[in-house]
Structure 1
Amino acid sequence: MLVPIKSSELWRIIPAVATGSQFAKCTGNGQKILQRVLIAVIGGVVSLLISQNQLSTLWGPLWLIISFVFFLYLLWGPIIEAGRLNSQLRKYSTAAIFEGRIKNLYTREQVEARREQANTDGILELVENRRTWLCLELEDSDGYLAEIRFPLNKKHHILYRGAIVYCLILSHNKDFSSIDAISDIWLPKLSLWVGAYPYLLRPAFEELCRRRIKTL
């Protein structure tokens, strides 16, 4: 079942500015944090040195500000990334609450990174970092809707075929003839949220579902 919502409701449950959970998600793993640290330190130090050489010019204060911005990259980097992800869903003209169930679920190995590493004989080998992802196929009374994927963890063992799900679907077409995007998923009977990224303000979405869907 699809329950269309207004643009104002969409913007209320998908924030323009990063929430705490979105910031944490966009902070990333150790490798991503290390990349941000390197960018912050290198950019900050270089621009600071330039500012010291330009103190007697009008450009000195500007380079000092640039240096300060670089040093804060660890903070504003995840905020910018989260805002970009949120905007990808906020841009859609048509949105609806989807009420359905899990048709099927299965796991799939996904390569997250590749790197070359020397073995004990000094020969370079390609090493792949793999992670298990859980794939959910969703359907309602009208049939198959879409598939959502996210990294598997221990809390997902309670998921089962037929479990009732609620999520937000988005489309460029008013008749939803094509589904262009899908949010994270709420499973009220399991008191569980799943998804690769926490797009929704979850308490606000839960309240919207209870208000718009009488069976909840």
Structure 2
Amino acid sequence: MIVPLTRQKFEQLIPLIATGPQYKYYWGKFPDFLQRLLISVVAVAVVFVIKVVLRVDFGGIIFLLGLIGALYWLWGPVFWASMRNVKSRRCKYSGFLRGRVLDYWIAEELMGKQETVDNKGDLVIVENREKRIHLEIGDDTGFTAEYKAPLRSAYKVIARGQRAELLVMSNRPDLSSIDEISDIYIPSRDLWVSDYPSIRRDFFTEVSSRLRRDEEDERPRRRRRRVER
């Protein structure tokens, strides 16, 4: 079942500016930090050459650009996470999907290749592979979606038939065509299956709890209707 959400609620779930978990995701590992730091050093060097060697003076503009470039290692994750959020927010409509885990499986995926040289001086290509879990989620209407994420030990508790909840995004008012989906929440285990933490999880669990309460309140009404008939 897909419950349509208002634009206001959608923008609360997917913020414009990066959240803490999103910043952490794009902060990455130590090599990612070194790459950003190198970009910052190059930016400072370029500004130095323009300002000192070429003696080009644009007032405070060059200094400002140099300062921004020097701090790229710090603000870079905010920028890239915010750009990813903007991409999701371009979808005009959204809905809250309450379905179940139809199937899941684990597969190795090629994440990249790296060229190196062995002890004999021969060129060796090293493949970087990662185990990822694939989840197929569906509901009673026939809707299905597949989501994949890096494998975690916490995912051992996932089983077929478990209730699964996620945010779906579309550019059609009736949500008949889904353009993007969020990470997946399994309420019975209070577990998130996630690659990139695309949504505000505190808001999402609040919406989830409210919908469950509404469903529980609706059940007695349905029973009364059947009795009256």
Given the two structures, how large is their TM-score scaled by the length of structure 2?
0.88
Distance 1:113 1:48 in 2: 35
> How much has 1:210 moved relative to structure 2?
2.0
- The residue aligned with 1:38 is 38
Kindly indicate whether the alpha-carbon contact (under 8 Å) linking 1:103 and 1:137 is maintained by their aligned counterparts in 2: yes
Unaligned runs of at least 5 residues, structure 2: 217-229
* CA separation of 1:60 and 1:54: change in aligned 2, threshold 3 A: farther
What does residue range 14-29 of structure 1 map to in structure 2 within 5 Å?
14-29=14-29
- Higher fraction of helix: 2
- The residue aligned with 1:88 is 87
Distance 1:48 1:42 in 2: 10
Kindly indicate whether the alpha-carbon contact (under 8 Å) linking 2:113 and 2:126 is maintained by their aligned counterparts in 1: yes
SS at match of 2:120: coil
Unaligned runs of at least 5 residues, structure 1: none
> How much has 1:53 moved relative to structure 2?
4.2
> How much has 1:120 moved relative to structure 2?
2.2
Kindly indicate whether the alpha-carbon contact (under 8 Å) linking 1:15 and 1:201 is maintained by their aligned counterparts in 2: yes
> How much has 1:15 moved relative to structure 2?
0.4
Kindly indicate whether the alpha-carbon contact (under 8 Å) linking 1:10 and 1:95 is maintained by their aligned counterparts in 2: yes
Kindly indicate whether the alpha-carbon contact (under 8 Å) linking 2:105 and 2:135 is maintained by their aligned counterparts in 1: yes
| Structure with larger Rg | 2
Kindly indicate whether the alpha-carbon contact (under 8 Å) linking 1:54 and 1:60 is maintained by their aligned counterparts in 2: no
Tell me the alpha carbon deviations over residues 130-173 of structure 1, each in whole angstroms, 9 at most, x when there is no partner: 11111000011122411001101111111111111111001112
Distance 1:80 1:148 in 2: 25
- The residue aligned with 2:182 is 183
- The residue aligned with 1:129 is 128
> How much has 1:60 moved relative to structure 2?
4.9
What does residue range 36-115 of structure 1 map to in structure 2 within 5 Å?
36-53=36-53, 58-115=57-114
> How much has 1:33 moved relative to structure 2?
1.9
- Higher fraction of strand: 1
Kindly indicate whether the alpha-carbon contact (under 8 Å) linking 2:51 and 2:57 is maintained by their aligned counterparts in 1: no
SS at match of 2:39: helix
Kindly indicate whether the alpha-carbon contact (under 8 Å) linking 1:89 and 1:181 is maintained by their aligned counterparts in 2: yes
* CA separation of 1:110 and 1:29: change in aligned 2, threshold 3 A: farther
Q: Which amino acid aligns with 2:101?
A: I
Kindly indicate whether the alpha-carbon contact (under 8 Å) linking 1:115 and 1:128 is maintained by their aligned counterparts in 2: yes
SS at match of 2:182: strand
Distance 2:192 2:48 in 1: 44
Kindly indicate whether the alpha-carbon contact (under 8 Å) linking 1:52 and 1:60 is maintained by their aligned counterparts in 2: no
* CA separation of 1:107 and 1:144: change in aligned 2, threshold 3 A: farther
Kindly indicate whether the alpha-carbon contact (under 8 Å) linking 1:137 and 1:144 is maintained by their aligned counterparts in 2: no
> How much has 1:31 moved relative to structure 2?
2.7
Kindly indicate whether the alpha-carbon contact (under 8 Å) linking 2:101 and 2:163 is maintained by their aligned counterparts in 1: yes
- The residue aligned with 2:158 is 159
Greater mean deviation of Cα atoms: 192-201 or 42-51: 42-51
- The residue aligned with 1:138 is 137
Kindly indicate whether the alpha-carbon contact (under 8 Å) linking 1:22 and 1:82 is maintained by their aligned counterparts in 2: yes
SS at match of 1:59: coil
Q: How many residues end up aligned between the 2 structures?
A: 215
Distance 2:114 2:139 in 1: 42
Distance 2:176 2:189 in 1: 30
